[in-house]
Amino acid sequence: MSWTRRTLSDSLTFFFAFSLLALAQACGPAESESQPADESAVSTVDQAWDTTAEAGKALLAGLTAAEETDRLVFLHSGAPWCGWCKRLEAWLVREDIDAIFSKDFVAVKIDVDLMDGGEALIHSYNDGYGGVPWLAILNPDGSVVITSDHPEKGNIGSPRAEWEIEHWGTMMRTAARRITEEEIQLMALTLAEDR
């Protein structure tokens, strides 16, 4: 299958234009003169993933939720056979971690094996994709804030080694708006406990 490069702006503009047209037709002539949505408010991030695929829809839903709640998207890839993915997912839903994590992030899991378009979506963010779990923190417009790729050592995956936990902390400090330093330290401590 060939993936075409489109912008999120084009997709959202089409969606809004189609919605406005449907609304105008439903409301009749008097209300159809309303002004279209401000296109400058729509994202212009270039993306290569298929917004009609299951994975694309999941990410779009996450980006929308992030925009509506003034948070960021925590994109993480996984696969059913991946023990490290299951470890990370179990840690993320711990009550103490979820209470911290959900302050700043909307989690979006992309299963690269089971979700339609999953692997292509992750590849669109990570050309050197080398395994799961791979993580990225995204702005609500889909642009990357930071990824799990340590600049020298590679993907931290589900952080366990000291350098991986340190990079996790870097990710949190780079992206967090509401999470405190003490909470970042608590996350690091709980990751280290599971060695």
- pLDDT tens digit sequence for 152-187: 999 999 999 999 999 999 999 999 999 999 999 999
What average pLDDT does range 133-160 have in this prediction? 95
What average pLDDT does range 121-137 have in this prediction? 87
Using alpha carbons, list the distances in angstroms from residue 153 to 75, 157, 167.
20, 11, 10
Residue 187 tokens, joined: 């996350």
CB 179 within 8 A of CB 100: yes
Q: Is the pLDDT higher at 151 or at 47? A: 151
Q: Is the pLDDT higher at 150 or at 194? A: 150
CB-neighbour burial class of residue 62 (10 A; exposed 0-12, middle 13-18, buried 19+): buried
C-alpha closest to that of 77 among 157, 176, 161, 165: 157
CB 75 within 8 A of CB 108: yes
How much is the pLDDT for 162?
96
How much is the pLDDT for 8?
39
pTM of the full structure: 0.76
Position 89 pLDDT exceeds 80: yes
C-alpha closest to that of 192 among 168, 159, 170: 159
CB 97 within 8 A of CB 64: no
With a CB cutoff of 8 Å and minimum separation 6, the contacts of 154 are: 130
How much is the pLDDT for 195?
65
Rounded Cα distance between 18 and 13, Å, is 8
User: Three-state DSSP class for 175?
Assistant: helix
pLDDT band (50, 70, 90) for residue 6 = very low
CB 117 within 8 A of CB 151: no
- The strand pairing partners of 77, in sequence order, are 110
Q: Is the pLDDT higher at 80 or at 33? A: 80
Position 108 pLDDT exceeds 60: yes
What's the mean per-residue pLDDT of the chain? 81
Rounded Cα distance between 70 and 55, Å, is 22
- pLDDT tens digit sequence for 8-65: 334 433 333 334 334 334 334 333 333 333 333 334 355 667 888 999 999 999 999 9
How much is the pLDDT for 10?
43
Rounded Cα distance between 187 and 124, Å, is 29
| CATH classification code of 50-193 | 3.40.30.10
Residue 45 tokens, joined: 């991030």
Residue 114 tokens, joined: 């089971």
All structural domains of the chain with their residue ranges: 1-44, 50-193
